[in-house]
Structure 1
Amino acid sequence: MHEDPEVAGGRETSAPVPIRRRDTAPQQPPPPELGEAQVRLVQNLRGIRICLVLLLMLAVVHMLYFARAILLPMAMAVLMSLVLKPVRKRLTNAGLPSFASAVIVFSAFTVVLLVGARLLWEPANHWLEQAPESLRNVREQLSGVEGPLGVIQEAGQELAELTAMSEKDGAVKPPVSVRVEQPALTSQLLNTTGGFVTSLGITLSLLFFLLASGDRFLEKLVQVKKSWREKWDTVLLVKEIEHKISTYLGTITLINFGLGVVIALGLWLVGMPHPLLWGGLAALLNYIPFAGLIIGSCVVFVVAASEFSTLGHALLAPAVYLIANGVEANLVTPVMLHKSVSLNPVVILVAIFLGGWCWGVGGIFLAVPCLLVAKLICESHEPLEPIAVFLGR
């Protein structure tokens, strides 16, 4: 007879009772309630922090404004390097040395820039010489609109005659004439040209060294970080910024080039003089969201009104400009860019205004790329995610 395993020596074994472990960790006491004075102190500290952030923002804006002569060429060089870096990497992966690939890419970019400037310089110079006569022709074309303006001019003349009569009677003393001496136009052009050449030299020099250095700055940035997690996050962030900025600027450049070609052909078909100049102007202005379309169409209309004999013929040129831009903005750009750039239109307009105030035309061109970089940086840091949501569409 086998003994029951649950009975040994005439006594029944009970099932093992699970042992509950006592939590030996010390329990933290509940936080003490803040007094009224402490609550006021916390509120004051929050207010001080907000004021410091606002002061920091104002200081950054003023620094950007007063240091634009140095910061603008540097920003242009960095963005151009982001566009050209994928081409340099492909040449390097093909077997060329890094320095040789940088020289080839930089030389090709410089040649394209000089050839484009040479092609557009002659028609632009010719149009500037004929600008006074063109404006007179525009005034003749729009002579039908001068009816309401004539009434205002007559009222101004009558007011001037009444003022002259009162001056003769001694009621009003004649105003003191003030003459402001301004520098000659030649000196202004020389100063502007000198500043532009200096900025262009700084931009091209820095662009070459950025292309030749490769990923050296990224390596140094990774060395500064302490943990592997920080190093990995830094590499991912920099690579994402490079990829999205290069994709955006490269795609926009191709789209603008095609738009300029289409507008130049359309203006050539309607008989517009110097169509290559206006196609190049359209390609450049298309980098400026919203405002570029308005400026370009107005300029084309003024030039067409000065060249064509009838107003109906003159309206064909801005019609071609608007139709080409409409097709590009609603069909071509959404298909090629998809959702890679989803920025708030209101924020874009504010950035364009601030960029134009701080850095002029260059700041207007840099507004959207800088916004895209700021959005990517805010998305990668959890405390700054609300700002990224605000910048998004």
Structure 2
Amino acid sequence: MNEDSATNAGLGNAAATHLHRVDQAKLPPTEPVQPAQSDQPLLRNLRGIRYCLIALAVLALFHTLYFARAILLPMAMAVVLGLVLKPVRRKLTHLGLPNMAAAAVVFVTFTAILAVAISLLWQPANHWLEQAPEILHDLRKQLEGGGGPLESLAEAEQELDKLTAMTEKAARSDQPMAVRVEQPALTSQLLNTTGSLATSLGITLSLLFFLLAAGDQFLEKAVQVRKSWTEKWDTVLLVKEIEHKMSTYLGTITLINIGLGATIACGLWMIGMPHPLLWGVLAALLNYIPFAGLVIGVCVVFIVAFKDFGNVPHALLAPAVYLAANGLEANLVTPAVLRKSISLNPVVILVAVFLGGWCWGIGGIFLAVPYLLTFKIICDANKRLEPIGVFLSR
């Protein structure tokens, strides 16, 4: 009986399979379902609405960044500094220090270095800022000194304007009194912003300490809110990659900039410029700004050298030293050290620097490249954003 039942079951399955094949052969070939003609305008409208919403979201983002820069800029600066200093704090914890003690050591050391640098450079920087208008006036006079007939023509035009003004004043006794508004000096404008700078610095340092003391708590919380193990693992990998690349890039760039500043300071000291340490620190800071930092640094050292040396040919030695040191750094040192750790399109970097300067001023210029690099890492890790990462690549 068992053999008969098994035979009947096999025959039944074979028959069912045969009938299924016959039915499939009779059915017409299936075609992909396409939207009706009446639905296509609706789909196009939805696609256009989506693009408009994306554009509005981008505009709202820039609007928020611009008008909330007083609080967002210190927070963004603290996050970047935390990424740079976190490997140092982690090494101290591996040596046996508690997390809070390691964070305190790193924070106190960083704050002490910053305070010493400000105290050493504040006096010469303030001195040169006070003399900046006079230096620019003298430089303009010497550059206009070789004007020849053009300079004489300009002086004649000025005298004619004065004579015309005197004639009109004598003809009209009821002429209203001229009112001239004096603009505050550059140093006064800078001193007026001391309060806001101190507040921003206080917010940055406070948040930096708590970020260092928090350790990996935010990473643990980000993993907890993920549902599957794959999402948890991807989150850990993404955060670790951002921390590694950001700390590597910023730490390496900082060391390169310190070496560049020391080289420029030595070169300027050899040609006899005063306060070479100040200009070396300025060169190191300006080197964080792609492209524009070099132009600003060359102009500043040329103006200062003109004030000290008194003539343009001798003053050209300072920008020559600056350009030579910067050329070696940009063409030999940085490509050899960083290699492919940062592969961003130069045009995109320049646009990011412009947007950062427009939104957050000098701080935005310094933070443009680090946050652009972070955004590229996120795009590379997300398949839906991968085309944007390809566009940002070199």
Superposition TM-score tier, normalisation by shorter sequence: 0.7 to 0.9
Q: Which moved more, 1:237-246 or 1:139-148?
A: 139-148
In 2: Cα distance, 1:344 partner to 1:149 partner? 45
Does residue 72 of the first structure (1) align with residue 80 of the second (2)? no
| 1:83 to 1:162, Cα distance in 2 relative to 1, 3 A | same
Give, as a single letter, the amino acid of the residue that structure 1 aligns with 2:264: I
Equivalences for residues 226-305 of structure 1 within 5 A: 226-305=227-306
Map of 1:106 onto structure 2: 107
In 1: Cα distance, 2:153 partner to 2:94 partner? 70
Per-residue CA deviation, residues 153-203 of structure 1 (Å, 9 max, x unaligned), is: 3575388479759979x9xxx899676687787874454000000000000
- What's the % identity of the aligned pairs? 68
* 1:236, distance to aligned residue in structure 2 (A): 0.2
Equivalences for residues 50-129 of structure 1 within 5 A: 50-129=51-130
Between Structure 1 and Structure 2, the one with more helix by share is 2
Map of 2:36 onto structure 1: 35
In 1: Cα distance, 2:352 partner to 2:110 partner? 28
In 1: Cα distance, 2:183 partner to 2:288 partner? 34
* 1:121, distance to aligned residue in structure 2 (A): 1.0
SS state of the match for residue 360, structure 1? helix
Give, as a single letter, the amino acid of the residue that structure 2 aligns with 1:102: A
Number of aligned positions between the proteins: 374
In 2: Cα distance, 1:105 partner to 1:120 partner? 23
* 1:29, distance to aligned residue in structure 2 (A): 5.2
SS state of the match for residue 38, structure 2? helix
Structure 1 unmatched ranges of 5 or more:
1-16
In 1: Cα distance, 2:343 partner to 2:218 partner? 28
| 1:184 to 1:158, Cα distance in 2 relative to 1, 3 A | closer
* 1:336, distance to aligned residue in structure 2 (A): 0.8
Give, as a single letter, the amino acid of the residue that structure 2 aligns with 1:122: Q
Map of 1:213 onto structure 2: 214
* 1:145, distance to aligned residue in structure 2 (A): 4.1
Map of 1:391 onto structure 2: 392
Give, as a single letter, the amino acid of the residue that structure 2 aligns with 1:88: R
| 1:129 to 1:189, Cα distance in 2 relative to 1, 3 A | closer
Contact kept in structure 2, 1:267 and 1:317, CA below 8 Å:
yes
Map of 1:195 onto structure 2: 196
Contact kept in structure 2, 1:73 and 1:203, CA below 8 Å:
yes
Contact kept in structure 1, 2:84 and 2:246, CA below 8 Å:
yes
Map of 1:381 onto structure 2: 382
Map of 2:340 onto structure 1: 339
Q: Which moved more, 1:131-140 or 1:306-315?
A: 131-140
In 1: Cα distance, 2:361 partner to 2:49 partner? 33
* 1:134, distance to aligned residue in structure 2 (A): 3.0
Contact kept in structure 2, 1:134 and 1:307, CA below 8 Å:
no
In 1: Cα distance, 2:295 partner to 2:276 partner? 18
| 1:152 to 1:390, Cα distance in 2 relative to 1, 3 A | farther
In 2: Cα distance, 1:359 partner to 1:196 partner? 13
Q: How large is the RMSD of aligned CA atoms in angstroms?
A: 3.1
SS state of the match for residue 142, structure 1? helix
In 1: Cα distance, 2:140 partner to 2:208 partner? 46
Contact kept in structure 2, 1:137 and 1:307, CA below 8 Å:
no
* 1:278, distance to aligned residue in structure 2 (A): 0.5
SS state of the match for residue 259, structure 2? helix
